C-alpha cells in the first residue's frame, strides 16, 4: 500500500520522501518511482527509534527547504495471538511499530507543518473498530491509532494541520494481507472471510491510495479527525 500511495502522490505532482526499514524494498521503490519521472528521495529508518526518527525527519525537511505538507503514517506489522498466548515481546513490537511509530513521525513532522499548515494521514484498520479473532496486539494498536488521530485533530486544526486516519479492510495483495490470509487457505475459511464483506471481495492497494489522495487534497478541507473506513461495507454489518 505504501508504494502505491507514493506512486499516486508522485503522479499528482508531489515531491516525495519515502521511508522504510527494508533496504531492498526501499531501493526497488526508489528506482521504480524515479523511472516514472517522480521526484523522490529515500530514507532508511526504523520508526520505533526516537533518535533515528528525529534525525531522518530533520534531514528530509532540510532537503525540501524546510517544508512538509503531507505525512502518511502507514508503517505497520501484524502478530497473531489472543491475550493469554501473546508474548510480551511480540505485543511490544506491534505497539512500537503501529502506534509509537505514528507518534514519533508525527512529532517530528508537526513543527514544520505549523509554519504553513499540512495534513497527517495515519493508518488505523477495521481491526481498530471491531474485534478480529486472534489478533489482540494488532487490534489494540490500531484502536489506539484511531484515538490518537482524533486527539491530534483537535490539538492541531487551529494551526492549519488536518489529521485523519484510513481504516482499510482486508487488502489481499499486500505482505500483511498474504500473511493474514495464509493462516488458513481452506475453502471454508475463504468463504467465511469473504462473507464479512458485503461488496463480495477484498480491497486493492489502488483503492486505499485513492482514499489517501482524497484526504490529502483540498477537496477534503472539512474532513478532520475522521476514521475513514475503506472496507467494502465490512464494518457496516
- The span from the CA of 81 to the CA of 70, in Å, is 34
Interval 132-139 mean pLDDT: 96
Domains, the chain, with CATH or none: 66-236 (3.40.50.720)
Q: Tell me what pLDDT residue 183 has.
A: 65
pLDDT tens, position by position, 140-194? 999 999 999 999 999 999 999 999 999 999 998 888 788 777 767 677 877 888 9
Q: Tell me what pLDDT residue 29 has.
A: 98
Q: Tell me what pLDDT residue 207 has.
A: 98
Q: Show the 3-state SS of the chain.
A: CHHHHHHHHHHCCCCEEEEECCHHHHHHHHHHHHHCCCCEEEEECCCCCHHHHHHHHHHHHHHCCCCCCEEEECCCCCCCECHHHCCHHHHHHHHHHHHHHHHHHHHHHHHHHHHHCEEEEEECCHHHCCCCCCEHHHHHHHHHHHHHHHHHHHHHHHHCEEEEEEEECCECCCHHHHHHHCCCCCHHHHHHHHCCCCCCCCECHHHHHHHHHHHHCHHHCCCCCCEEEECCCHHHC
Q: What percent of the chain has pLDDT over 70?
A: 99
Are the CB atoms for 97 and 76 separated by under 8 Å? yes
pLDDT tens, position by position, 74-127? 999 999 999 999 999 999 999 999 999 999 999 999 999 999 999 999 999 999
- Catalytic positions, please? 138
Interval 124-139 mean pLDDT: 97
- For the chain, the average pLDDT equals 95
pTM here is 0.95
Model confidence at 69: pLDDT above 70: yes
Amino acid at each position: 500500500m505504501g508504494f502505491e500511495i507514493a506512486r499516486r502522490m508522485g503522479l499528482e505532482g508531489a515531491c516525495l520522501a519515502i521511508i522504510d526499514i527494508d533496504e531492498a524494498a526501499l531501493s526497488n521503490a526508489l528506482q521504480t518511482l524515479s523511472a516514472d519521472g517522480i521526484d523522490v528521495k529515500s530514507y532508511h529508518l526504523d520508526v520505533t527509534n526516537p533518535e533515528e526518527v528525529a534525525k531522518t525527519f530533520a534531514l528530509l525537511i532540510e532537503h525540501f527547504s524546510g517544508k512538509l505538507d503531507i505525512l502518511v503514517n502507514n508503517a505497520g506489522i501484524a502478530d497473531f495471538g489472543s491475550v493469554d498466548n501473546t508474548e510480551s515481546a511480540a505485543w511490544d513490537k506491534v505497539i512500537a511499530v503501529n502506534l509509537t511509530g505514528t507518534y514519533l513521525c508525527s512529532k517530528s513532522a508537526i513543527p514544520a507543518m505549523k509554519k504553513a499548515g499540512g495534513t497527517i494521514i495515519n493508518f488505523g484498520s477495521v481491526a481498530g473498530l471491531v474485534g478480529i479473532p486472534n489478533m489482540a496486539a494488532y487490534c489494540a494498536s490500531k484502536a489506539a491509532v484511531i484515538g490518537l488521530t482524533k486527539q491530534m485533530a483537535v490539538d492541531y486544526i487551529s494551526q492549519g494541520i488536518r489529521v485523519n486516519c484510513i481504516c482499510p479492510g482486508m487488502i489481499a495483495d499486500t505482505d500483511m494481507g498474504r500473511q493474514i490470509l495464509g493462516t488458513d487457505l481452506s475453502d471454508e475459511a475463504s468463504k467465511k472471510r469473504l462473507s464479512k464483506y458485503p461488496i463480495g471481495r477484498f480491497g486493492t492497494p489502488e483503492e486505499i491510495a485513492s482514499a489517501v489522495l482524497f484526504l490529502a487534497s483540498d477537496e477534503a478541507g472539512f474532513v478532520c479527525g475522521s476514521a475513514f473506513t475503506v472496507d467494502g461495507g465490512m464494518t457496516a454489518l
